[in-house]
Each structure stands twice: as structure tokens, then as C-alpha cells.
Chain A
């Protein structure tokens, strides 16, 4: 177990190193160096520079040394907690990122708190009896909700609950401080889009377990049906959905971009998109690194969890 954990952590460090190096090489191009200059000096300022002055500017910023030298420096900075400076937001990247991550964390927490129980219950109920009415209903609803992209779900919910009924605000910028009513629509959008996938996975897993021979053994052993489901089936059926749910964290990071932009929620996704459109390089680099960290870390949790839940692997 410790060996597995160590190996996966090692793998994570390696992936992070490769990713950050790729990011660094990508952003080392002339195009992006110029972008930094534009960010700092303004568009006209850069145009006014002669070739020589631009070179001098690069030297003064330490940008014209080979990228691997700068990479080592940058890694050192990041390890010391210095993520660089956001020209667009005119602030240090570190605190900005932390603030936005907290906002997205709140969003994510509620999404998971609602999505997991809904998805697991519906999935299990559907998979218990393949082909039954409840199975068909759940399957239909989950196909429908996963087929409607987040952007469309956000529109439909806004039109009905904000524009039509007027129950909820259309935007979630939280300019007047935290307001839970502004959280409802973004959370609902993400839950609706996400739950179907997890429910379908749970259903498939449950259905597979229900036709397995050991469930037949349990039933033909004459123990009550409740116990067959609760003790024999669930334990095995929930192994696969568990890993899927943890990996959903990765999906969520994609989903929040759209939702945060549409509802103008000041979270991590919106920060990333703004930075990308503006060319705010240090923000993009830092945000990507954080996103990859979360994704790889959730993979490790999922792997470790899978091993812990599955005795067949745990003891081999």
C-alpha cells in the first residue's frame, strides 16, 4: 500500500514537472514575451520601442536567458510560493488564485454534496432491476440531462427561475458580499449536467453486480433480499462509481469555466479564461499548474480508494 502511494506520488511529481516544463516552453516563445511587454508597458509603449530598446527591456526582465535557466528560477519561485504578478488584475498571482479557488471550492462543495447522493441513489435503484420502470425512467432522465450542455442548462434555468419566475438573481457576481441565492443556479446547472453520468455509471455497475454469480449464490442461500442488496451487492457495486466520482473533480474544473462565465461568478474558471483572453501569462501558468495538480491528485485518491475498497487488489 505504502509502495503504491509512493509510486503514485512519484508519478505525480513527474507529471507536474513535465507539465510545467511544457507550459514554460510554450510561454517562452517570442509571441508571449511580447505579450508580457505589452502587459507591462502598454501596447503603444512596446510599439515605440526600437529593437535595441526591446532587447534591453528583455535583459532587464531577465527574459533573454535560455528558457531552462529561467525554468529553474521559476520553479524556485513557485516552490517559495511566488507565482508571479497578474498584469490584468494588477496584483500578485498567489493571493488572487487562493481567493478564486476558495470561491470555486464553495461551488464545488455544494455540487458534490447534492450530486453524489442523488446520483448514487438513482443509479442503484435503476440497476437493481434491469429493464424495470424505474430503470427506464432513470436512464431516460440521465441521458436527457447529460445531453444538454452546461451552457444550455444555464440558459434554461435562468430563463425559467430568474427571468420568468423572478425567484433567483440572473447573475452571481456577489458584489454585495456572499449571497446564497446567487449560488443556486450555478450549483443546479453543474449538478444537472454531472449527475447523469455518475448515475449511469452506478446503474451499469449495479446491474452488472446483480447478474453476477455471487449474487445468485446469496439469493439461493436464502438470505433476505434487503441483505442481498445492502451487504452483498452495494459494496461491490459502489467501487466503480467511487473512482468515477473522484475523477469528476477533473470534469468540474472544466464545467466551472462555462458556468462561472455565464453567471459572472468570480471563481477559478473565470480567472483562467480572463487570463487566457488577456494574455496574462503568469496567471495562466499558475492556474494551469493548480488545475493539473488537482486533477492528478484526485487520480491518486481514486486509485488508492479503489485499492482500499477492492480486497481482490488490496491483498494481491
Chain B
């Protein structure tokens, strides 16, 4: 290995952006050595500079970005000295890139065939016929069905997963020696993501391409890479082999990151998550010395805050480096992050009962005032949903896009009427009681926490004003002074300082906004709170803090929580019961233990297998789904999952709706497979000997 030239080497690379406010260092002192055939993961939270590294390698930093120091060697040659035409001959041929948003990365006005053919035409001087032939062949290589049809399509005519395969095909067309993947699956659904990850692994095995895989998701890095760089606020803080870093991490930030993600074994009662305190510093507010210093439990004044901390070699494994002055003094075993255990909460009576709730939409074909009519289509957003939620219980609703979870929330909140069925809260049927006709008490009983922190608060009004409005609206308090006190009380509950009441939303970080959203939801003392992916838009280290806060408040108020999510790891961590949905129908429901252990619904099985888990001791059984999620306006006739199901029974599944089998108390599976087959399924996730016992 030693005599081989690295494909890519970054030596003390520093990159800055120059704005009106002056120079903003985006990446500082970055080192990376990538050997041929190696896959290197870069992981970090938003703003840590990981994407900047990728663009710097492409020498595409825009008008205001510049490499201000260090070297960037590609096959031993410094890329900074290359001319524009030399760069052009490298780009797309020796170095290729796959982007985060496939839809935006493809030219909307050009056919896919032409976009692909450009690569061989301009890099290998191929004739356009030859180029098209090679393009079609490559589409076959990335497992796209009907290459000819796709070549003749425009990007918007194919699905997101297919688009990403097209982008990957484009990158591979000239057999690059380096492939950069910048969050290639973030925009995709979990089961589609699993297919793409599988393809990436296949490529590196088949073509021997070196890869840099950028992601915020440690689990994905584990599945795809050999080595890993952990970045924090523009610096690489830890570099090493995957196994070493995952099992013997030597940087407090890396460890904090692992402690704040729900791995198998974490549990809201016995093993709660431990959040990293504080928040990411903005580039111009970075402290001197260690950037992680202010958030670090091992911080020592006079040592950690002196000057630039160098990368040091660690004795745990080969080529393992960390940027910490205290790594060899810390007792890494004894100081493992551990939060206090909490007693489990006993659920009370049934609070919310959903009975055969069905919601259909009639969609008219582009209505116009003069001509009515046109064809109408029926979108079956929710089909006969039936489940219950008890007091103080957390029920998770899990599903990918188009599964109908947001429609369900709308019906519950009274913004849409149900087509059929009942939604009973207390002893009131809400299914067809629009919010205008609900009294303040009923509305206050049922509140919601939203997904996007940047959308959840009105940017024009103060935080305090927005919370106060809810208190007044629900008649919790009427006196001005008392309302004010209640606002302060709520800010205390969500652990925000009281003077935030006067602030505007733009002065708050994403996590803080989400806390205000939680305060607002709890302002009317609700019985049931619907949380729609409340943490998925937040950074990993902030996610844990907000999740724990939500759990604490729920515990104190004995609130019923309906937690909508696509992320089975989070759900496993916090839910008592789980409802798995696909295309508007409930596929499986049961307690968390029942869902995570066999028997599975085939869709649950695939979902479990698709979730990336950042633990080297976990073994997963591979179930990769083919195809895409069908459109909700044109669902399959029989079982909605029949088009992708590996167990599909021809002639039965695609024509008739399956029975809802009762497997155990409260455990239902909506499937044609007989009980024997379901019971014989192997567990998907197995945890090897080390670590905590599985909660299954």
C-alpha cells in the first residue's frame, strides 16, 4: 500500500468564503488521504464544511469561495495549479460527483439520453451514436429498467430514486477514479435509499472506484465506507478506520454524537439519549483553541482554549488521528455518557379511538370557472384506519412519503372531514367536526407540533406574543398579567430563557424554534399532542435534546403523544406502540417489541432492513425492495404493497385486499401470507454479543 500514490490527498487544506462581512473560514486545516479503491466517509452536522470539501475537490467554490492554504493533490498533482481546460478534462471524467437533490441536478429541458451522452462525447470523443449506446448500457448497470424509455424521458418524468440512479450513471460513464457522493440519499425515502446504498456498494466492488461519501448519517457511512472523517465546525476532529472510530472513538464530539443518536439498546426509560449541550458556533463566533471547547465536558481552561489544536496520532489503531489535547488523559470507559434512568410510565385509559377512518379526495382535472366537469380522480389518502391511544402513551405512526400520515393529522385537527368512520376523543366524534365547529376546550385538548422549525413560527410576531395568543384563544388565562406569567412558565418548561418572549423567530436557532413550537402546543394543557416529525429537520446533536425535552414534558403531563415519523430508530427509542402505514393503509400495528420482532409484515421487514444503524455490532438481514412507491391517485387494486412485495402471491395479492390478521394481543398484520409463513420469519436486526440486551 505504501508505495501507491493516493488518488486524492488534502494537506492542511483551508477554504474560506469572502463576503461583505469579510473572510469566513469554512474549512480549516483539513487532511485526507484516499487510496485507490478506498471509500472514505465524511460525517458532520450542517455547516461543518463537509460539502465545501467536496466542491473544493471539484475546484468549484463559486465566485466568493477560495482555497486559502494547503495543498490538494489528485494523483499526485496539485489541482490548484491546473488550468481551466485541464480541470475540465478531469471533471466528469476522472472525478465525478453525485448530488443531494437529483431532480435539481438534472437539466429539466433536456432528455436524459442527451445529458448522459455528453460525457462520452466530450471526454472520449465518442460519436453520438456510440455515446448513446454506452449511456443505455450504463443505465442497465445501475439497475434501471427499460433504459431506452428512460433515455427518451425528461427528468421530471421519472421518480426521485430513478433520477438519482441516472445521476450515478452519468458519474460512472467515463469510469472515474474518484467519485464524490454528497448526501446522495437524503432527499429519498428510506426504502428507496436502501436501494441506492446497495447500488453504491455494488459499484465500488465492481469498478474499484475510490469514493468520498458525505453524509450526516453515521449509519450510512458505516454501511458504505472503509474510513471516516468526523468534522465539526470546519475542522476534522477525528479520522480513522470505521471499526476503530465507531468502537474506540477518542474525541469528545464523536462520542457525543454517538450518545445522541438512538441506537439499538437505547431506550427512553432505561437508556435515555444524552444530548450535546449548547449549539454549533457560527463561523465568526468560533472560540479560540478547540472549537468544541464550550460544549465539551472535558474542557480545561488554559489548555483547550490556547491556539489551534493539532491532529495527533492515537494508539488505538492504524492511522487513527484526533484533534484533542486531552485524548490520552481521559478515561474513556469510566466517563461513558449516561443519563439517569427513569421509571416507566403506566398508560391510563384509552383517550383517542380511531375507528375505520377513511379519507378520500376527489381531484378535478384543473378546474376552470366557465367549464365545470372534467374527469375526477379519487385519491385514497386514508383507508379504514383503526387504532387506539391511551393516556401517557406514545403511539408512533411510521411510513414513507404518500403513506397518508399528514392527511390523518389534518382530519384529526379538523381541517378536513373524514369520508367515513369515527375519530373519538373522550366521548366526542371528531371525524366530521371541522375545527370551526369545535369549542375551545376540544381544540385545546388536541394540539400539534410541526416538522419544519423555520416554518413553525410566524416571522413577523414575537415569541411571547405567539404563545400568549394560544393561551388567550383557549381561555386558559384571561388576565394580562396571568397570561404573561403563563408564557414565562412555558418558556421555563421548554428550558428557554424568559427574555426570549420578546424575541423574533429569526433570532432563534432551529432547535430553539422547535422548543417554542413545543411550548405553544402545550400552552392549552392538551390531552393529545400530534408531533409531525418534530426533530427530523434538526441537527443530530440538537435532535436528542429536543426529543428528551418532549419526553420529559409528556411524562410530567401524562400527555398522549402521536409521533409521526419515517425514522424507525427514533420510533423504536420512544414509542410504546407503532402503527406502520403504506399508501394510506395500516400494514401492521402492535407494541414496539411486537413490531421489531418477527412475525413481520413484509413491508415492515423491508423498512427495518432499510434503516441504517450506526453500530458495528448490529447485523441486518438484507431485504431490498425494487420499484417505487405507487402514486396515491393510482394505487394497486389489491394489497397496496403488492407491486414491491418480495413475498407477493401472484393472482391473489394484486387483486384482493388482504385480511387483517390478529397475531397477538393488539398485534395486527394486514397480509395475505398465512400465519405460519409470517411466524417463520427471521429477525431482521441482530445485535452481536457485546452491548445491551435488545429490548425485543
A293 vs B506: C-alpha distance when bound (angstroms): 48
A236 vs B371: C-alpha distance when bound (angstroms): 33
A311 cross-chain contacts in B, Cβ below 8 A = 108-109, 154, 156
Please state if B370 and A10 are interface contacts (CB–CB under 8 Å).
yes
A10 vs B60: C-alpha distance when bound (angstroms): 50
Residues 203-233 of A at the B interface (beta carbon under 8 Å): 212-214, 216-224, 227, 231-232
Instruction: Say yes or no: is B105 at the interface (Cβ < 8 Å to chain A).
Output: yes
Please state if B60 and A216 are interface contacts (CB–CB under 8 Å).
yes
Please state if B156 and A223 are interface contacts (CB–CB under 8 Å).
no
B101 cross-chain contacts in A, Cβ below 8 A = 213
Specify the chain B residue showing the minimal Cβ separation from A218. B107
Chain B interface residue count: which class? 20 to 34
Q: Most chain-B Cβ atoms within 10 A of its Cβ — which of A7, A214, A223, A224?
A: A214
Please state if A14 and B370 are interface contacts (CB–CB under 8 Å).
yes
Please state if B60 and A221 are interface contacts (CB–CB under 8 Å).
no
Residue interface bits B84-110, CB-to-A below 8 A is 1, else 0: 000111111100110101001111111
Please state if A220 and B91 are interface contacts (CB–CB under 8 Å).
yes
Residue interface bits B559-591, CB-to-A below 8 A is 1, else 0: 000000000000000000000000000000000
A239 vs B368: C-alpha distance when bound (angstroms): 25
A216 vs B89: C-alpha distance when bound (angstroms): 15
Please state if A214 and B106 are interface contacts (CB–CB under 8 Å).
yes
Residues 246-285 of A at the B interface (beta carbon under 8 Å): none
B90 cross-chain contacts in A, Cβ below 8 A = 222
Instruction: Say yes or no: is B122 at the interface (Cβ < 8 Å to chain A).
Output: yes
Instruction: Say yes or no: is A91 at the interface (Cβ < 8 Å to chain B).
Output: no
Residues 631-682 of B at the A interface (beta carbon under 8 Å): none
Please state if B108 and A11 are interface contacts (CB–CB under 8 Å).
no
A224 vs B63: C-alpha distance when bound (angstroms): 19
A216 vs B180: C-alpha distance when bound (angstroms): 14
Please state if B156 and A220 are interface contacts (CB–CB under 8 Å).
no
Of B88, B105, B154, B167, the residue contacting A222 (CB under 8 A) is B88
Please state if B371 and A10 are interface contacts (CB–CB under 8 Å).
yes
Q: Chain B nearest CB: distance from A133 CB in Å? A: 13
Please state if A214 and B122 are interface contacts (CB–CB under 8 Å).
no
Please state if B92 and A222 are interface contacts (CB–CB under 8 Å).
yes
Instruction: Say yes or no: is B157 at the interface (Cβ < 8 Å to chain A).
Output: yes
B110 cross-chain contacts in A, Cβ below 8 A = 231-232, 235
Residues 1-23 of A at the B interface (beta carbon under 8 Å): 7, 10-11, 14
Instruction: Say yes or no: is A31 at the interface (Cβ < 8 Å to chain B).
Output: no
Chain A interface residue count: which class? 20 to 34
Q: Chain B nearest CB: distance from A195 CB in Å? A: 25
Q: A219-B60, A222-B123 are in contact. Are A214 and B91 (CB under 8 A)?
A: no
Q: Most chain-B Cβ atoms within 10 A of its Cβ — which of A10, A11, A217, A231?
A: A217
Q: A221-B118, A222-B122 are in contact. Are A315 and B157 (CB under 8 A)?
A: yes
Residues 262-316 of A at the B interface (beta carbon under 8 Å): 309-312, 315-316
Q: Chain A nearest CB: distance from B222 CB in Å? A: 28
A10 vs B370: C-alpha distance when bound (angstroms): 8
Q: Chain A nearest CB: distance from B92 CB in Å? A: 3
Q: Chain A nearest CB: distance from B205 CB in Å? A: 25
B613 cross-chain contacts in A, Cβ below 8 A = none
A214 cross-chain contacts in B, Cβ below 8 A = 104-108
Of A14, A213, A309, A312, the residue contacting B105 (CB under 8 A) is A213
Instruction: Say yes or no: is B170 at the interface (Cβ < 8 Å to chain A).
Output: yes
A214 vs B99: C-alpha distance when bound (angstroms): 10
Instruction: Say yes or no: is A131 at the interface (Cβ < 8 Å to chain B).
Output: yes
Please state if A224 and B108 are interface contacts (CB–CB under 8 Å).
no
Residue interface bits B164-177, CB-to-A below 8 A is 1, else 0: 00010010000000
Residue interface bits A143-159, CB-to-B below 8 A is 1, else 0: 00000000000000000
Q: A219-B91, A222-B123 are in contact. Are A131 and B106 (CB under 8 A)?
A: no
Please state if A221 and B92 are interface contacts (CB–CB under 8 Å).
yes
A224 vs B101: C-alpha distance when bound (angstroms): 24
Please state if B156 and A315 are interface contacts (CB–CB under 8 Å).
yes
B371 cross-chain contacts in A, Cβ below 8 A = 7, 10
Instruction: Say yes or no: is B119 at the interface (Cβ < 8 Å to chain A).
Output: yes
Please state if B370 and A312 are interface contacts (CB–CB under 8 Å).
no
Please state if A217 and B156 are interface contacts (CB–CB under 8 Å).
no
A297 vs B90: C-alpha distance when bound (angstroms): 50
A227 cross-chain contacts in B, Cβ below 8 A = 118, 122
Q: A7-B368, A10-B371, A11-B370 are in contact. Are A222 and B91 (CB under 8 A)?
A: yes
**Pairs across A and B, CB under 8 Å, 27 listed:** A7-B368, A131-B63, A213-B104, A213-B105, A217-B105, A217-B107, A217-B170, A220-B58, A220-B60, A221-B92, A221-B118, A222-B87, A222-B88, A222-B91, A222-B93, A222-B122, A222-B123, A224-B88, A227-B122, A231-B110, A235-B109, A236-B107, A236-B109, A311-B154, A311-B156, A312-B109, A315-B156
Leading 3 A-B pairs by shortest Cβ distance: A222-B92, A222-B91, A221-B92
- In the complex, given contacts A220-B60, A235-B109, A239-B109, what are 19 additional A-B residue pairs having Cβ atoms less than 8 angstroms apart? A7-B371, A213-B99, A214-B104, A214-B108, A217-B99, A217-B105, A219-B91, A221-B92, A222-B88, A222-B119, A223-B88, A224-B88, A236-B108, A310-B108, A310-B109, A311-B108, A312-B108, A312-B154, A312-B156
B residues contacting A by CB (< 8 A) are 58, 60, 63, 87-93, 96-97, 99, 101, 104-110, 118-119, 122-123, 154, 156-157, 167, 170, 368, 370-371
